[in-house]
Amino acid sequence: MTITTPPESALAVGVTVTLTGEEFACAACGVVTDAAHVESVTVNTFSRDGRLAEQHVARFGRCAGCRERRQRAETLAHRYPSLAAAQGARQVALDRFDAVLAVGEMLGAPVRVDDAATGFVSAVASAKELSALLQHALVPAMSLAYSRQPEGREGTANAAPWGHVTPEHRSEARRALAAWLKARVDKPRFIPVPTDSDILGCAACGVGSVAALASESAEAWHSLDLDPRAFGGRRQAERLWVHVCPRCTSAIETHGVGVTALEAALFAHLGIRVVPGSVEARVTGFAALPLGTPANDTPWGHIDTAALKRDLASMGAGA
């Protein structure tokens, strides 16, 4: 997943402006604001060994965009009260929700929280999604604010929003947000056998769809030009363009295209320990069935597995 942000130069990274007495830097993004929304922020200065060296109260503003984001944080706290309570004090919850939302803004990929947000890639529409966003993005988020920068921020402001954020911090935030987005969209789903297939299921086990992550759906099925006789077909038949499910594909990768691979996949499915090819099991693949046979609901539905197990037991094979 790629998050596209404007070129670094367009963000005026690192360019600061000096403030007059009537101006304040936005506590979050650092741009110049007027005195209408001034707030006092406790600024902690840390020594090189990480200890708190100094603490003082400084005055910052809050720009319109960052005030709007604060509203979204309030909306989230109101909508997901138990998740907000789990953060501790209400102020802490608001700060955290605000901070993770700010990661999206800083990267030019704002996170939506409105009721209509369901289905948007970059949106929070459930407590679970918010919880995942916190989990992924809270660490880079909490040190993002202009007022949290180590030193020399009073009396100056950013020429552009978030201009104080270093390239390293920006990359870390981008990775965190990308991981969250990927986790959101990467839910397993059922991928049906591709429609260009000559048959309606996996050429071996016959299933009609397989569960795969969205990001892997293109590789869920393995394509094959198959002589059906290789899978137990008896008639002389045309070669078929078929697809094979992931489990049967791995059996084919080990044993090659043939009945031994079918046995390996079937025995694995049944949990039977038999060396493939060591018994006369007469397993046929789905591709050997008449064309137009509907796909199996479960793998190997076209095989009488109970009879097969009895046969194997009578041969003294299997477990």
**Residues of the shown chain interacting with Zn ion in the complex, contacts defined by CB under 5 A:** 26, 28-29, 63, 66, 202, 204-205, 245, 248
The residue (of 39 and 114) whose beta carbon lies closer to Zn ion is 39
Report d(CA 295, CA 205) in Å as an integer: 9
Report d(CA 39, CA 26) in Å as an integer: 9
Q: CB of 106: closest distance to Zn ion in angstroms?
A: 10
Q: CB of 146: closest distance to Zn ion in angstroms?
A: 8
Q: CB of 119: closest distance to Zn ion in angstroms?
A: 28
Report d(CA 302, CA 63) in Å as an integer: 67
Q: CB of 14: closest distance to Zn ion in angstroms?
A: 17
Contact 204, 288 (CB under 8 A): no
Contact 228, 236 (CB under 8 A): no
The residue (of 204 and 272) whose beta carbon lies closer to Zn ion is 204
The secondary structure of 202-262 as a DSSP string is: -TTT-BSEEEEEGGGGGGSSEEEEE-GGGGT--S----EEEEE-HHHHHHHHHH-SSHHHH
The residue (of 180 and 221) whose beta carbon lies closer to Zn ion is 221
The residue (of 66 and 100) whose beta carbon lies closer to Zn ion is 66
Contact 205, 187 (CB under 8 A): no
Q: CB of 67: closest distance to Zn ion in angstroms?
A: 8
- Angle of the 259-270 helix axis to the 246-255 helix axis, nearest 10: 130
Q: CB of 195: closest distance to Zn ion in angstroms?
A: 17
Report d(CA 1, CA 150) in Å as an integer: 32
Per the rule left: phi > 0, alpha: psi between -120 and 50, beta: everything else, 308 is alpha
The residue (of 69 and 184) whose beta carbon lies closer to Zn ion is 69
The residue (of 29 and 257) whose beta carbon lies closer to Zn ion is 29
